[in-house]
Structure formats: structure tokens, C-alpha cells
Amino acid sequence: SKFPISTADASSCGLQIHFNADLVGGDFVRLVFAGNDPGNRLVVEGYLVWVRKNAVDIFGRYTAGVRMKQPDSALPAKMVKAETALQP
């Protein structure tokens, strides 16, 4: 199912996500960062390594670590490009 996320701490092997869906460690996720230009669309697939419930729901009820299915040393730069495209 589709749901919004926010991201943090992106590296070549994974990233941290914040969300409100009920997911557990080991779940497969497909994250799609879609900008205004279809050419800026970024897809990241991976597995949740850990999931924890947040004490305070600022960015989402849950925070999780995602290990990418295929590591990509350029991921942080690609994410900046995709997120910049989302700005009005």
C-alpha cells in the first residue's frame, strides 16, 4: 500500500525513514521519490532492518532503517535532486 514517508541519514547502503504504517523488521519496501519531472523519479528498494515506535509523533509514529537491495554510492545526491524537484 502507498503511504507518505520522510527520510533521514541516507548513505550508499540504506537510509532511515519515518512513517505511520504498520510495518515490521524484515518487510520489503519500495520507496518512490517522484518529482515534477518524470526524469527525476527515484526508486529505492530494500528491507527494513529495524523498526521502532516513536515516543513522540513528530515525523511519524514509526522510524525504521532500510537496507538497500542494491547499494548505490550516489543515493544521497540522487535523493537531493529528487527532493529538490518536489519543491514548488
Interatomic CA distance for residues 13 and 20, integer angstroms? 23
C-alpha cell belonging to residue 84: 529538490
Query: What confidence score (pLDDT) does residue 71 get?
Result: 84
3-state SS assignment for residue 71: coil
| pLDDT grade for 83, boundaries at 50, 70 and 90 | low
pLDDT per residue as tens digits for the range 3-14: 888 888 888 899
80: alpha, beta or left? (left if phi > 0; alpha if psi -120 to 50):
alpha
The verdict on pTM exceeding 0.95 is no
pLDDT per residue as tens digits for the range 28-71: 999 888 766 666 678 889 999 999 999 888 888 999 999 999 88
